Amino acid sequence: MDFRTDMAVERRDLYRKANNIENEIDGIECNEEEIEDIKITRVAITNAQGEEALKKPMGNYITIDVKKINNIAVEKEDKIVEVISKELANIVDKHIKKDEEIMIVGLGNLHSTPDSLGSRVVNEVEITRHIKIYLPQYIDENTRSISAISPGVLGTTGIESAEIIRGIIDKIKPKMILAIDSLCSKNVSRINKSIQISDTGIVPGGGVGNARDELSEKSLGIPVIAIRSTNSCRNGFYYERLFRFVH
């Protein structure tokens, strides 16, 4: 089945519709929660049957949808950041300790607006690794060590992102990768309104049929959390703020 979307929740819905499944798909668990105008859908792929159905690896996929994101008040923005940050912190804490180093990887092409989210986020995140190493007296000892890289795209560098990231991991040895990328959705109504967090890694370009080398625990040796958004212009403003929850 050609999904043409990288959202687990959309693939679940498309598969159920195509196969006339009224209940849940074998190997898929799903629950929903609404907080004001924010909808959280948690999809877990639990076995090989679920993997085969959705064509995605076993793990957790959390989608945060904001119904009325345009012209919202500052207080509403705070609530959105709080919800996203809580989901991110929960999934990070399942895989590493609170004092272990994270490397943020901003994927995509800075010069292509729909694909520029990852690169833009790297410029906004508070980086702490160098301060903890060289100026530890100026930072709280409980602050997590954060480094970041934006490896660009194969067409610009001639190097697969996975090759660049693998070399950096070998040198600085972070305990986790947080990969930021744009997200392919099949539903136009999701543009500018959806963020997906998953703990299964990421295949850059996979949602649009241009798959590159995957970034995953299997390929890199450390957990890879993917945070992806359906729009690079609006949702990017959340990231600098939500990362304070992983510091």
The pLDDT score that the predictor gives to residue 239 is: 56
Comparison of pLDDT for 221 and 111, the residue scoring more: 221
Comparison of pLDDT for 109 and 235, the residue scoring more: 109
- 188 pLDDT tier (thresholds 50, 70, 90): confident
The reported pTM is 0.86
Tens of pLDDT, residue by residue over 22-32, are: 899 999 999 99
The pLDDT score that the predictor gives to residue 238 is: 54
Domain covering 72-245 assigned CATH 3.40.50.300 in the classification: no
- 213 pLDDT tier (thresholds 50, 70, 90): confident
> What's the whole-number mean pLDDT along residues 151-174?
91
The pLDDT score that the predictor gives to residue 112 is: 77
Torsion over CA of 51, 52, 56 and 59, rounded to 10 degrees? 0
Task: Evaluate if residue 142 carries a pLDDT over 90.
Answer: no
CB atoms inside a 10 Å sphere around CB 220: 19
Mean pLDDT taken over the chain: 85
Contact 216, 36 (CB under 8 A): no
Burial of 154 (C-beta count, 10 Å sphere; 0-12/13-18/19+): middle
Find the range with the poorest average confidence among 21-30, 123-132, 153-162, 185-194: 185-194
Comparison of pLDDT for 42 and 209, the residue scoring more: 42
- 231 pLDDT tier (thresholds 50, 70, 90): low
Least Cα distance to 122 among 146, 103, 150, 144 occurs for 150
Task: Evaluate if residue 114 carries a pLDDT over 80.
Answer: no
Comparison of pLDDT for 117 and 24, the residue scoring more: 24
Torsion over CA of 4, 10, 16 and 22, rounded to 10 degrees? -170
3-state secondary structure the chain: CCCCCCCHHHHHHHHHHHCCCCCCCCCEEEEEEEECCEEEEEEEECCHHHHHHHCCCCEEEEEEEECCCCCCCHHHHHHHHHHHHHHHHHHHHCCCCCCCCEEEEEECCCCCHHHCHHHHHHCCCCCCHHHHHHCHHHCCCCCCCEEEEEEECHHHHCCCHHHHHHHHHHHHCCCEEEEEEECCCCCHHHCCCEEEEECCCECCCHHHCCCCCCECHHHHCCCEEEEEECCCCCCHHHHHHHHHHCC
The pLDDT score that the predictor gives to residue 2 is: 76
Least Cα distance to 197 among 16, 47, 44 occurs for 44
- 54 pLDDT tier (thresholds 50, 70, 90): very high
Domain ranges of the chain: 72-245
The pLDDT score that the predictor gives to residue 70 is: 61
Tokens, residue 148: 């970041």
Tens of pLDDT, residue by residue over 56-102, are: 999 999 999 987 666 667 777 788 888 888 999 999 999 999 889 99
Task: Evaluate if residue 152 carries a pLDDT over 70.
Answer: yes
Find the range with the poorest average confidence among 13-17, 184-188, 211-215: 211-215
